[in-house]
Structure 1
Amino acid sequence: MKKLVLFLAVLFSVNVAMAQFDFCLGPKIGYQTQSLSYKKADIQKGFKNNFIGGVFARVTISNFIIQPEFLFYKSGKVFNFDVDPTFSQSGIAVNPSITLNQTNMSLPIFLGYQIDGKLIKVRGNIGPVIYFTLKQDTEFNENDIPESVNANNVKVKNTTLGAAFNVGVDLWRLTLDINYSLGLSNVIGDDFNLYNIATGDPINVPIDKTRQNMFTVTLGFKFL
C-alpha cells in the first residue's frame, strides 16, 4: 500500500512538472552598440555596422527561465593611450591608439523569471557572457611617435568574460529583448611595448581598461 501511494505521488509530481515545463527555440536578429545615440544618421549607420544575429533556446519551469544564446556580430573600437615622453631623446609626447575590428561570437546564459499575462509574457534575466573572437584586425596608430620609435606586442585576447542584464517581452511567437552587457575582462592585454629602434630599449606601456560594454536590442521568433 505504501509503495502504491509513493508511486502515485511520484507520478503526480512528474505530471505537474511536465505541465509547467516549456521549451522553445528560434532565431533572433538585432542591433548592438557601445554608445547610445538618438540621431537618425547614427542609428541608420549602426544598423549596417552593428548587426547581430543568432539563435536562442529557452527552458521555462514554473516561470523560472534558463536561456542560452549563440550570437554573432562585428565590433570596432579605438583605444587611446597617453605615454610619458621621457623614453624619447627628443622628449616628444606620444599619444598612440589601437584600432580593433573583430568578428565575434557571444554565449550568454541567462537565468530569470517570467510573468505570464493574458496577451504578453514579461521576462527579467541576468547571467554570465563568454565572448569569443573569431577574426580580428588590429591597427596600431603611431600618433606623434618619433620615427626612432616603433611598437610591438599588442596582445588581443581571444576570449573575454562579461555579465548581462536583460528584460524581454513575448507576444505570440515573437520575442523582444533589451540587453545591457558589462565587460568584466580587458579585450587587450595588460600592456604592450614601445621600443627604440636605435638602442633596442623596450618601454612598457600600461593599459588601464579596454573593457567593452554593449547595449543590444533583438527581435526573435519561437519555432517551438
Structure 2
Amino acid sequence: MKKLIILTVALFASGVMFGQFHIGPQIGFTSSKLTTNQNDIKTSFKSNFVFGAFARIGEKLYVQPEINWLTQGGIWKDKVTNEEVEMTYKTIQIPVSVGYKLIDMKVVNVRVFGGVAANIATDKKMKINDITQPLKDADWSNMVWQYQVGAGVDVLMFALDVKYMGGLNNLYKGDVQYDGKTLSTKSNLFMVTLGWKIF
C-alpha cells in the first residue's frame, strides 16, 4: 500500500514537471457483487454512487491515478432457507491504470486502459432480517484488492470512463463452512464515471 502511494505521488510530480498533466473531479455509478465459492448462495448486485478525483499523466500513452469514495458489497440469498443478507463495504479506493489512446484528436479521443486498485475499508456491515450489525475485523479483511480493465471517451474537457473491477483477494478470513468448503468471497463491480478536466 505504501509503495502504491509513493508511486502515485511520484507520477503526479513527474506530470507537473513535464507539462503533460490533467486533473479534475469525477462522479459516477457502481454496481457491485460479492461472489462466493458456495453453490447454495445466490449473489446479486448492489448499486451505489461514487465520487472522487483523477489525474492523467502523459499523452497518447498515459498513467491515471485516482482517489474515489464508494460503497461496495452485494446481496446474498440462501437457496435453501431463502434468508437474505445484504453486505456493505464503504471504501476509499486508490486505482492506478495505464492507458492508450486509440483515437487521439484535438476535440475527441477514445482510450483503453487497465491497472490495479487498492480499497481501504472505512465501514463494514451486514444486514439480516432488517437488523444491521458490523463485520468483525478478525473475520473480514480491511483491504480490497482489484484489477481493472476499461475504455473511455474524452470530449473537450469531459472524460467518460466505463470499467470492470475484479476481486483479487478473499475478503472473508473466518472459518464458516458450507458443504465442507470454507466460505470465500471476492468483490467485483462495474463502474461508470464522468470526469471534468479542470486543466
TM-score of the superposed pair, with normalisation by structure 1: 0.63
Measured in 1, the distance between the counterparts of 2:157 and 2:175 equals 47
Say which structure is richer in strand. Answer: 2
RMSD: 3.1
Q: Is the alpha carbon distance of 1:154 and 1:137 closer, same or farther for their aligned partners in structure 2, counting shifts above 3 Å?
A: same
Post-superposition shift, 1:138?
2.9
Measured in 2, the distance between the counterparts of 1:153 and 1:34 equals 21
Percent of aligned pairs with the same residue?
A: 28
The number of residue pairs the alignment matches comes to 163
Aligned to 2:169: 185
Aligned to 1:77: 74
Aligned to 2:185: 210
Measured in 2, the distance between the counterparts of 1:96 and 1:206 equals 19
1:109 partner letter:
V
The answer (yes or no) to whether the contact 1:30–1:53 under 8 Å persists in 2 is yes
Aligned to 1:59: 57
Measured in 2, the distance between the counterparts of 1:166 and 1:107 equals 16
Aligned to 1:25: 23
Runs of at least 5 residues in structure 2 that lack an aligned partner in the other structure: 1-16, 34-45, 130-135
The answer (yes or no) to whether the contact 1:154–1:193 under 8 Å persists in 2 is no
Consecutive aligned runs of 4 or more in structure 1 exceeding 4 Å deviation: 93-98
* 124, 142, 152: which one aligns with 1:136: 124
The answer (yes or no) to whether the contact 2:54–2:64 under 8 Å persists in 1 is yes
94-103 or 184-193, larger mean C-alpha shift: 94-103
Q: Highest Rg: 1 or 2?
A: 1
Tell me whether 1:112 sits opposite 2:99 in the alignment: yes
Runs of at least 5 residues in structure 1 that lack an aligned partner in the other structure: 1-16, 36-45, 83-92, 142-151, 195-203
* 82, 90, 108: which one aligns with 1:103: 90
Measured in 2, the distance between the counterparts of 1:217 and 1:137 equals 25
Measured in 1, the distance between the counterparts of 2:48 and 2:151 equals 20
The answer (yes or no) to whether the contact 1:54–1:69 under 8 Å persists in 2 is yes
Post-superposition shift, 1:132?
1.2
2:51 partner letter:
G
The answer (yes or no) to whether the contact 1:66–1:110 under 8 Å persists in 2 is yes
Measured in 2, the distance between the counterparts of 1:183 and 1:154 equals 20
Aligned to 1:145: none
Deviations 1:18-42 (A, max 9, x none): 5xx510000000000027xxxxxxx
* 109, 116, 127: which one aligns with 1:121: 109
